[in-house]
Structure 1
Amino acid sequence: MDLYIYYRVGTAQAISLFGKIKGVQAMLQARLGIAGALKRRPGEQDGLQTWMEIYPDIPPAQADAFSRTLAQALADCGAADLISGERHVEQFEDVAPCA
């Protein structure tokens, strides 16, 4: 399973949020062995940037633990205070070929 999480951040909060998210991702990789990526849509609109966190190849057996650990880490570091609006979480899985 792959997780794609996108949200908006004010340009003034971007540097602070970047450090927090990269810290969370480093912890997730060290603790659970899942490396994340952080992307940003080019440009901004109304002083907001759109960011996306990507967490590929989460083993199904680790999915619940990963989601809980991620949510707790984000709460602990105060990332939600720097995000404008909601974090949108989407799950995708590989398409299995038909037999």
Structure 2
Amino acid sequence: MNYLYVYYKLHEAQRRRALEPARRVLEAGRPWSRRVALLARPEVEGGVATWMEVYEGVDDVARLSNALDAAVKETGLATFLAGPRRSEVFAELPADAAGWEA
């Protein structure tokens, strides 16, 4: 099972206006995820906030990533970004050592 984490920065002054597009991007990823969440760092540095989208239980990361890229453009979230969106994929570790591949 894969987990996709997408994080990005935006100007804190734009936070309220960016929230609805960010939630719509999250919803665009729901068909490829078992659980989605939108998080924000509690601290703001220099007027710039960091938000993170979390997609859990992803089988097709490439398809999800493509859907998210399209949604960022379609929803207008791209206009609020103060830099690139960055993605990282993590895989769930096996419950015990027998689950490791050689």
| TM-score, normalised with respect to structure 2 | 0.83
Q: How many aligned residue pairs are there?
A: 95
Indicate conservation of the 8 Å contact 2:37/2:54, yes or no.
Answer: yes
Report the secondary structure of 1:86's partner residue.
coil
Please tell me the root mean square deviation across aligned C-alpha atoms, in Å: 1.5
Indicate conservation of the 8 Å contact 2:38/2:53, yes or no.
Answer: yes
> Quick check: 1:36 aligned with 2:65?
no
Letter in structure 2 aligned against 1:14: R
Q: Which residue of 2 aligns with 1:88?
A: 86
In 1: Cα distance, 2:3 partner to 2:17 partner:
26
Report the secondary structure of 1:67's partner residue.
helix
Q: Which residue of 2 aligns with 1:55?
A: 55
1:8 positional shift: 1.0
Superposition pairs for residues 57-72 of structure 1, below 5 Å? 57-59=57-59, 62-72=60-70
* Structure with larger Rg: 2
Q: Which residue of 2 aligns with 1:98?
A: 97
1:33 positional shift: 5.4
Provide the identity percentage.
28
1:75 positional shift: 1.2
Structure 1: gaps spanning 5 or more residues: none
Letter in structure 1 aligned against 2:39: K
